[in-house]
A and B are shown apart, each in its own frame.
Chain A
């Protein structure tokens, strides 16, 4: 490896994905990309920029607008030994393919007695905040995280995007790889090499002693920022980034809260039946005796997300909401008295 390639680089989340797709396609010719507008158009969010000219139209395959068809086709190709990485333009459109994902990709290995794995990756961005209105702004990851047979990851940093995409492509099971529109331009340090991350493990991305914020994807960036600010005020917030929604790293979540005694879940999805509900139940079981107060949840308001900026902004959880809830929880437990 050249000295240049050895260095940790500061790159965007988008670039980390693009670099990783390129290196995996170079490493293994079974890796093919399928999706709408990923070739000549270079991807709706330009994640696949430059790959068509490098690898040709057979390995960077533009598809018709037929999510059920091409996601299902990727399943079949995976069953014959290919390693397809599908891009669905946004998470919202994956609902057209949900039969193939839930009834087929997730079932084939177990239902046929472990004879045939489905090494498939489905990449797609979720998330609101772009004024795209109700049908284009959803966080439906919990729909997939609910389903045995799938693996669901949601990296929050460029380094994790790389590590988890490497893991997803090399994994023999179907992996839902959740991206987020608001993360594509965020920058972070990405180490060289090609060591995959571990699906099924959370990370304590900031250590603290007073309270745990448990979060994932875009919301992690908010939590880390709030934790940094509160450290100036003498409040020590620990941030747990789930990274993997299925499997969920329950031991790491519980260990953090056993240490801090207070927990807030920050999530971009809707509150009812959401990721936060699962985390809260997990803490009931694994940290009940250590909790100084009930778990708090900061999640999206339960409306189809409106277009108008003031409404959209208020519906989505932000740093102000998180900060307020952290302070309330601290007050409830006499932290500052």
Chain B
């Protein structure tokens, strides 16, 4: 256990780079939203970078990931192209979901991220079923595939969460449920919404072991999720992991978060994992100020290139509206535009 708790300095710098990429990407998304290049709902991972990076580092390319709508960082860390993720926000055909999904619905079969999902709790039953499918594929063992299902604190109150954990327990499924406890579901605190506000304990009803870890500590996150995934791989047992985090800004880009107390905002800012890791790396001599600045600049450039790529991509055209109506074409599928006749007779 201890060996991965103490990562070598190189690994920690790499984690820092990734956290900075998410930070820059999200700040840019916020700007692009304000410039109306992005529409709809747009939820950012600001403040959750250490959790996202730690989780995604432990997840192998052969594993499957399901998340909620706060999914940009996960898509990037799963290995999706930064430009294609930005293009999805811009609604371009070059986006990871071809502009059909937007911010909440990043999807990529090749990196096995099987969706960001916008319905609270909606991802949990399908993720559980993905783990069920794995039990038909191969035997448990250290190299077995596993599923990670991410969600927010508020999501542990919905029925789908409880039905799914129960299924995972009775069917003994290789899945890790990860709760990002950023203390709020929109404006509602965990204490106000959850009968058991220590959310990792909610697995107990299903005899699913629960663990709580510091979501601002990338190494702690990586260690906790590696252990949980190992258990899923080798023993085919589900696990519940709660990561304590803070949402730095509002629920989505349009939320000024006036319901937060000044003290709460201050705590969140003090806990901000990105400057904290930077300070740590500089304090222990791993990075100089200059090197840390260079990482920031490099990531800013990567995000600027992503914006340029997204800008250059084509908008979908109305003739493509029915392109993904069905996977198996069938006769008489409706293709009328508003006001057009439905009945086409010989």
Q: Does A216 contact B (CB under 8 A)?
A: no
Cβ distance B167 to chain A, nearest Cβ, rounded Å: 5
Q: Does B24 contact A (CB under 8 A)?
A: no
Apart from the given pairs A113-B99, A199-B330, 12 other A-B contacts in the complex at a CB distance below 8 Å: A69-B167, A82-B136, A100-B122, A100-B126, A103-B119, A109-B327, A111-B97, A171-B328, A173-B328, A247-B330, A248-B334, A250-B344
Cβ distance A245 to chain B, nearest Cβ, rounded Å: 11
Contact partners of A189 in chain B: CB under 8 A: none
Chain B positions 107 through 136: 1 when the CB is less than 8 Å from some CB of chain A, otherwise 0: 111000011010100101111111111111
Q: Does A58 contact B (CB under 8 A)?
A: yes
Contacting pair A113 B326 (CB below 8 A)? no
Q: Does B325 contact A (CB under 8 A)?
A: yes
Say whether, besides A69-B125, A69-B160, A113-B101, A201 and B332 are in contact (CB < 8 Å).
Answer: yes
Contacting pair B167 A251 (CB below 8 A)? no
Cβ distance B317 to chain A, nearest Cβ, rounded Å: 15
Q: Does B81 contact A (CB under 8 A)?
A: no
Say whether, besides A82-B133, A286-B343, A68 and B332 are in contact (CB < 8 Å).
Answer: no
Q: Please, how many angstroms separate the alpha-carbon atoms of A108 and B123 in the complex?
A: 11
Say whether, besides A111-B100, A200-B330, A247-B330, A99 and B119 are in contact (CB < 8 Å).
Answer: yes
Q: Please, how many angstroms separate the alpha-carbon atoms of A250 and B98 in the complex?
A: 31
Among the stretches A2-10, A71-79, A122-130, A306-314, the one at the interface with B is A71-79
Contacting pair B129 A72 (CB below 8 A)? yes
Chain B positions 310 through 340: 1 when the CB is less than 8 Å from some CB of chain A, otherwise 0: 0000000000000111111011111000000
Contact partners of B167 in chain A: CB under 8 A: 63-64, 66, 69-70, 73
Partner pick for B332 among A78, A117, A251, CB 8 A cutoff? A251
From residue 157 to 172 of chain B, which have CB atoms closer than 8 A to chain A? Answer: 159-160, 163-164, 166-167, 170-171
Contacting pair A72 B126 (CB below 8 A)? yes
Residue of A nearest to B101 (CB): A111
Q: Does B40 contact A (CB under 8 A)?
A: no
Say whether, besides A68-B160, A73-B126, A148-B325, A112 and B115 are in contact (CB < 8 Å).
Answer: yes
Contacting pair A76 B343 (CB below 8 A)? no
Q: Does B290 contact A (CB under 8 A)?
A: no
Contact partners of A99 in chain B: CB under 8 A: 119, 122, 160
Say whether, besides A112-B100, A247-B330, A77 and B114 are in contact (CB < 8 Å).
Answer: no
Q: Please, how many angstroms separate the alpha-carbon atoms of A156 and B96 in the complex?
A: 42
Contacting pair B107 A113 (CB below 8 A)? yes
A-B residue pairs in contact (CB < 8 Å), sample of 9: A72-B129, A82-B133, A104-B117, A112-B100, A112-B105, A114-B323, A118-B327, A148-B334, A198-B330
The residue in A79, A148, A171, A282 that gathers the most chain B C-beta atoms within 10 A of its C-beta is A79
Contact partners of B258 in chain A: CB under 8 A: none
Contacting pair B164 A113 (CB below 8 A)? no
Partner pick for A114 among B117, B119, B324, CB 8 A cutoff? B324
Q: Please, how many angstroms separate the alpha-carbon atoms of A119 and B119 in the complex?
A: 21
The residue in B64, B107, B170, B324 that gathers the most chain A C-beta atoms within 10 A of its C-beta is B324
From residue 132 to 175 of chain A, which have CB atoms closer than 8 A to chain B? Answer: 148-149, 151, 171-173
Cβ distance A1 to chain B, nearest Cβ, rounded Å: 27
Residue of A nearest to B107 (CB): A112
From residue 42 to 80 of chain A, which have CB atoms closer than 8 A to chain B? Answer: 58, 61, 63-64, 66, 68-80
Interface size class of A (residues with CB under 8 A): 35 or more
Say whether, besides A80-B130, A249-B331, A103 and B164 are in contact (CB < 8 Å).
Answer: no
Q: Does A304 contact B (CB under 8 A)?
A: no
Q: Please, how many angstroms separate the alpha-carbon atoms of A14 and B333 in the complex?
A: 29
Partner pick for A76 among B107, B126, B345, CB 8 A cutoff? B126
Contacting pair A75 B332 (CB below 8 A)? no
Contact partners of B134 in chain A: CB under 8 A: 80
Nearest first, the 6 closest Cβ-Cβ pairs linking A and B are A72-B125, A76-B129, A69-B163, A113-B98, A73-B129, A76-B126
Say whether, besides A172-B327, A285-B343, A80 and B332 are in contact (CB < 8 Å).
Answer: no
Chain A positions 181 through 223: 1 when the CB is less than 8 Å from some CB of chain B, otherwise 0: 0000000000000000011110000000000000000000000
Contact partners of A151 in chain B: CB under 8 A: 326, 330
Contact partners of A73 in chain B: CB under 8 A: 125-126, 128-129, 132, 164, 167
Say whether, besides A58-B136, A80-B133, A250-B343, A115 and B327 are in contact (CB < 8 Å).
Answer: no
Contacting pair A112 B342 (CB below 8 A)? no
Cβ distance A52 to chain B, nearest Cβ, rounded Å: 16
Contact partners of B324 in chain A: CB under 8 A: 109-110, 113-114
Q: Please, how many angstroms separate the alpha-carbon atoms of A129 and B338 in the complex?
A: 39
Q: Does B346 contact A (CB under 8 A)?
A: yes
Cβ distance B125 to chain A, nearest Cβ, rounded Å: 2
Q: Does A255 contact B (CB under 8 A)?
A: yes
Contacting pair B332 A200 (CB below 8 A)? yes
Q: Please, how many angstroms separate the alpha-carbon atoms of A172 and B325 in the complex?
A: 12
Contacting pair A247 B133 (CB below 8 A)? no
Contact partners of A81 in chain B: CB under 8 A: 133
Q: Does A254 contact B (CB under 8 A)?
A: yes
